[in-house]
Amino acid sequence: MEVIKKCLHITEQLVVLAKSIDHQDRDQAIEQIEQLLSGREELLPLIKGPFSIEEKSLGEKLVERDRELMPLLVNIQATVQKDINELSRKRISAGKYANPYAATQQHDGAFYDKRK
């Protein structure tokens, strides 16, 4: 039962942290999320039955909180991916601005007609 309580506590911390994340301290929050997720990952295999009534209710709460957590983590991942793509576009755009002729491909060669 201690394992389920610890896992539920970590999941609740994850939900609170994922809801309160903002752009300025996102890197620190992501590091904390990764630490909490790795701690929870170690606890999950230790949860084994048979379960008492109290453990079942804690398990139901754990599943409910996990369902609440997953969309928040997906949202954070999408935000980070969007920032990465935007940064990549800016880098490419800056490179084209610095050297506009580097992007053009030159096709050298001639067309040879094989017919006589």
pLDDT tens digits, residue range 29-58?
Answer: 999 999 999 999 999 999 888 899 999 999
Provide, rounded to the nearest whole percent, the portion of the chain with pLDDT above 90.
68
pLDDT at 43: 93
The structure tokens listed for 32 are 């904390």
Dist. CA 72–CA 23, nearest whole Å? 14
Domain range annotation of the chain: 2-96
DSSP-H helix ranges across the chain:
2-19, 26-43, 53-98
pLDDT value of position 104 = 64
Show the low-confidence residues of the chain (pLDDT under 50). Answer: none
According to the model, what pLDDT value does residue 105 have? 63
pLDDT at 55: 92
pTM over the 0.95 mark:
no
